[in-house]
Amino acid sequence: MDQAFWSYLFVGLSFSAYIGIALWSRAGSTDEFYVAGHDVHPAVNGMATAADWMSAASFLSMAGLIAFLGYGGSVYLMGWTGGYVLLALLLAPYLREFGKFTVPDFVGDRYYSTFARIVAVICALFVSFTYIAGQMKGVGVAFSGFLGIPFEWGIIIGMVIVFFYATLGGMKGVTYTQVVQYCVMIFAYTVPAIFISFIITGNVFPQLGFISNVRGEDVAMLEKLNTTLTDLGFAEYTSTNKSMFDVFAITGALMFGTAGLPHVIIRFFTVRNARAARVSAGWALLFIALLYTTAPAIGAFARLNFISTVNEATYIEGNIDEIDYEAEAEKIREAGGTPVPHWYKDWEKTGLLSYEDKNGDGVMQYRGPNSPDGLANEVDPNRDIFVLANPQIAGLPAWVIGLVVAGGLAAALSTAAGLLMVISSAVSHDICRRTLFPQMNDKTELRVARASAAGAVVAAGLLGLFASQLGFVAQVVAFAFGLAAASLFPIIFLGIFWTRMNKEGAIAAMLTGLITTFAYIFWFKFGGGTPEQYLFGVSPEGIGFVFMFLALGVGIVTALLTSPPPQDIVELVEDIRVPGTRQPHGIADQGMEPMKDASDGPPAASAG
């Protein structure tokens, strides 16, 4: 049985499981559709949160970035991990204590303003659509790489699957689907890493193999990689070409952006109370650590394997589907050469690998900018392919490759579904129910929520097609983190920890962060800006961190220059910082009481 068989088998089984869960968990109320009835077990929510968090950027792109950026790629690892800890410890329990459906819901009621709610909706939509574009690009990469399906059709198939279980089951269906997706992706990520680590270092634990000696040699794996790269004219793997401040800014944008991501925050609304939110955060951190501690090893192994199999290989012309590869490869071996590997020809047809024979010798020279032999680089790989291609490069069994395909699709679809829930709830709950049509009943709101999710799926697919023109998945996603860091994090943080923060300050802070960050990214990515024009030398990926402080400053100054918030709001903010003391507070009681434990008696009226 070949690779295609195993890929179709694993993908077919996982997709069948997603659809089955959607049918089993069909949402019957808005409470189930938005927050899974506030009744998800902390361990289950932790696993679903991990799947929601580990997107296509984490699964497909992060290891590829680390493979090519070396230590410079670790900003993604540090930023995303640090941000999750920040969110879990600093914000999530208090947001859950507040007792809302969505982030704009929190903003609208904490800042007692419909206009603030609408601005928060705009921020959430900007962040979510930017983020989901990267996920849909990941779906297209996975489909086109292994199933022979064009990039565009891969995105459309992904849209259909997400449409089915997100619109039918809402957050309830998404939650249990994400549990299955986590199991698929963590198995798919770690099994190849164990194989490859054992082949290269003799250690079955990738985290330890990463710092071990090369098998049969008295040299550390990282030292060998450094030597290999410098011999070809690249910088050492253990160095970075970014300035210290830019590295600091990108890490900060990813960290604080994580803490402001609405699709991660909304997961903590699905558990029963603040204590359960803390416990589920701990579970999620454990589940996430399994993947994140493996990524650096995969990146280093992939770079070493790529060079050893591609550099100085003799190229075979033609499409892999139209040539007799084995016959051509045998001719090259008989002549004493090394043929281009079969996996390279497989991936070449996707357009994600390219080769240009600049010196006309028919041999593939992979070189860096400081090549000692003066040869120009002829090989250009897209970094998003390395997690998917790694098992092929290492010559692992076909079933392992099929498993990785299913894992990559699970990663992209799980996060896409979480983002779709944010988008649909922002439209149906925050705009329609809480702003435009306050008399809308629960059944009508549920229909609007499903229609919103359907519209969001179509929009996400179109964005995914557009994202194919942008950089790597992780870099596309990094823009979403910058927007979240600058627009949503300041008002969530100040809304919890500063009672003096008022609606005028919140609106000013959100608009400042959103407009400045979006304008900066647009100018340098689409408007013709050059790196020499970077503000303080900070790239677009890290600018959200800089403008976050600007938004905080504008928000604080505006709040101090305008009227303080009502006393009811001040007392409410003081209550949510002490778990279990949340009490109704006048203006704050308009449908915003916290949920109670079942043991406390009947639950209070929920939001909305």
How do residues 491-529 score in pLDDT, each as one tens digit? 999 999 999 999 999 999 999 999 999 899 888 877 778
Cβ-count burial of 581 within 10 angstroms (0-12 exposed, 13-18 middle, 19+ buried)?
exposed
Q: Report the DSSP beta bridge partners of residue 314.
A: 339, 363
Across 69-78, 263-272, 551-560, 579-588, the highest mean pLDDT is recorded for 551-560
CATH for 3-304+396-584 is: 1.20.1730.10
pLDDT score, position 25: 76
Averaged over 210-216, what is the pLDDT? 87
Q: Which pLDDT score, from 0 to 100, does residue 498 have?
A: 93
* Cβ partners under 8 Å of residue 408, min gap 6: 56, 59, 60, 138, 141, 142, 185, 188, 387, 388
Checking if the pLDDT of 596 tops 60, the result is: no
List, in sequence order, every beta strand (DSSP E) within 534-575: none
What does the H/E/C string look like for 475-498? HHHHHHHHHHHHHCHHHHHHHHHC
Separation of alpha carbons 482 and 519, rounded Å: 12
- Residue 255 clears pLDDT 60, i.e. is over it: yes
Q: Taking residues 74-100, report their average pLDDT.
A: 77
Residue-averaged pLDDT of the chain: 80
pLDDT recorded at residue 378: 92
Q: Which residue has the higher pLDDT, 376 or 37?
A: 376
Please compute Rg for the chain using Cα positions: 25
pLDDT for the residue numbered 557: 96
In this prediction, residue 314 carries a pLDDT of 93
Nearest to 10 by CA among 181, 144, 168: 181
End-to-end CA distance of the chain: 54
pLDDT digits (tens, 9 = 90+) for 340-397: 998 888 888 777 788 899 888 889 999 988 888 888 899 888 777 777 787 888 778 8
Q: Residues 138, 473: contact at Cβ < 8 Å? A: yes
Cα gap 388→143, rounded to integer Å: 11
Q: How many residues in the chain?
A: 608
- The C-alpha atoms of residue 448 and residue 452 are separated, in whole angstroms, by 6
Partners of residue 380 on adjacent β-strands: 354
Instruction: Check if the beta carbon of residue 8 is closer than 8 Å to that of residue 148.
Output: no
Contact by Cβ (8 Å): 481, 254: yes
Instruction: Give the other-Cβ count within 10 Å of 380's Cβ.
Output: 11
DSSP conformation class of 379:
E
Residue 469 pLDDT greater than 80, yes or no: no
Tell me the average pLDDT across 11-34. Answer: 80
3-class DSSP state of 314: strand
* Highest-confidence segment of 273-287, 383-397, 458-472, 594-608: 273-287
Eight-state DSSP code of residue 90: I
The pLDDT value given to residue 592: 40
Q: CA-CA distance, 138 to 387, in Å (whole number)? A: 12
Q: Which residue has the higher pLDDT, 560 or 575?
A: 560
Comma-separated ranges of CATH 1.20.1730.10 domains in the chain: 3-304+396-584
229 pLDDT exceeds 80? yes
What is the share, in percent, of the chain residues with pLDDT greater than 90?
12
pLDDT at 174 over 60: yes
398-453 pLDDT, tens digit each = 888 778 878 877 777 777 777 777 788 888 877 887 778 878 788 888 888 888 88
How many other CB atoms are found less than 10 A from the CB of residue 418? 30
Q: Does residue 305 have a pLDDT over 70?
A: yes
Give the Cβ contact number of residue 68 at 10 Å.
18
Q: What is the mean pLDDT of residues 562-572?
A: 88
8 Å CB contact between 513 and 547 = yes
The pLDDT confidence band at residue 591, using thresholds 50, 70 and 90, is: very low
The answer on pLDDT for 606 being more than 60 is no
* pTM of structure: 0.77
- CA angle (91, 416, 59) in 5-degree steps: 85
Using 50, 70 and 90 to split pLDDT, how confident is the model at 185? confident
Give the C-alpha separation, 170 to 446, whole Å: 9
Give pLDDT, residue 599: 40
Predicted confidence at residue 594, as pLDDT, reads 39
pLDDT, tens digit, 9 for 90 and up, residues 106-161:
888 889 888 888 888 888 887 887 777 777 777 776 676 666 677 778 778 877 87
Mark 303-339 as b/e (b = at least 16 C-beta within 10 Å): bbbbbebbbebbbbeeeeeeeebeebbeebeeeeebb
> Quick one: pLDDT at residue 604?
36
